Amino acid sequence: MWVRREFDSSKKHFAATHIDRENDVLTLSFLTRNRTLLDRFLTEVRSSWEAHVQNRVRIYYPRYGDWRLLTEKPRRSLDTLYLAPDVMQLVEEARCFFALRDVYAELGIPWRRGYLFEGPPGTGKSSLTVALAGELQVPVYVLSLQSSWIDDDTLLRCVSQLPSKSILLIEDVENAVKRNTSSSREVGHDLGEEVSSTEVGGSSRAAVSMSGLLNALDGITSTQGRLLIVTTNDASRIPSPEALLRPGRIDRKMHFTNLGPSQLDQMKKTFSTTVTKHERYFATTGACEAVNACPYEVNTTAATYQQKLLDEMYGALLHAKD
């Protein structure tokens, strides 16, 4: 078998199932007349490719108007998030959204949906986004509004290139949106909507306006079939919330809180079960006992208690080596 790889600059692929070199064209040549052998080979390649896609979450980041693959993360089980039941229901809602394309079309409604994730740092907003993408087998496109190279035109280009069945993530929007000191007003892009004069990017050189952001999110060039997730530590700090967070842009607001006793106990149980399962690492270390004895304070963030449990686990391992 001979393999030839060529770069096709005329193609722009951003679909969820593309792997690595999206703009490459592979030409395979076989010295055989046995078509069955060729079909078996291609079936095996596709099976391997699909297994890779199903177990990884692909995360893209824009660079000067084009999306680039930033990293791939292993899928994370939703059982390891320890979130409130109403937050976990979001998974099924998002699954329904991606299945309702024909319904949206018949109703004449743009096939888009938006969520605001609000809560203190470490409460699982970004973790749920990645876990949600893994569960639904869709890519995540992370849009940083603080990049120095981004302006209204570049933002519009990035968002218009998003594929259907994808997640657009805008993190910490309250820090990325800066309100100008002037009292001028800008007219929004739809039906004369007014928004406070703002720039997006959080610096004095920011070049993205609030109206530019709104136009990118749901203007006439906005992509169908994308799920928007906007995260914030404090929604009250978002400039022009009546414009950015209105229905049609943000359909649901989810509040993330610190963990209660039942969720903390669940996290501890998961750690204990995992330590017991991997006996070859922890058999004589006392790690399981250390994890089970790890205290917690009510209303602790998931990240904080997770770190305490990891510290107990590593402490037992290192003590056993002394």
Supply the CATH classification number for the domain 58-255: 3.40.50.300
Nearest to 266 by CA among 121, 44, 79, 89: 79
Helix, strand and coil in the chain, % to nearest 5: 40, 25, 35
pTM as predicted: 0.78
User: What averages of pLDDT result for each successive group of 10 residues across the chain (322 residues)?
Assistant: 73 45 74 84 79 82 86 90 85 94 95 95 92 94 84 88 93 69 42 48 58 86 91 89 89 92 94 91 88 91 94 91 72
* 241-274 CB burial, b ≥16 within 10 A, e <16: bebbbeeebbeeebebbbbeeebbeebbebbbee
**Whole-angstrom Cα Rg for the chain:** 23
pLDDT for res 113: 95
Domain locations along the chain: 2-54, 58-255, 261-321
pLDDT for res 165: 93
pLDDT for res 203: 46
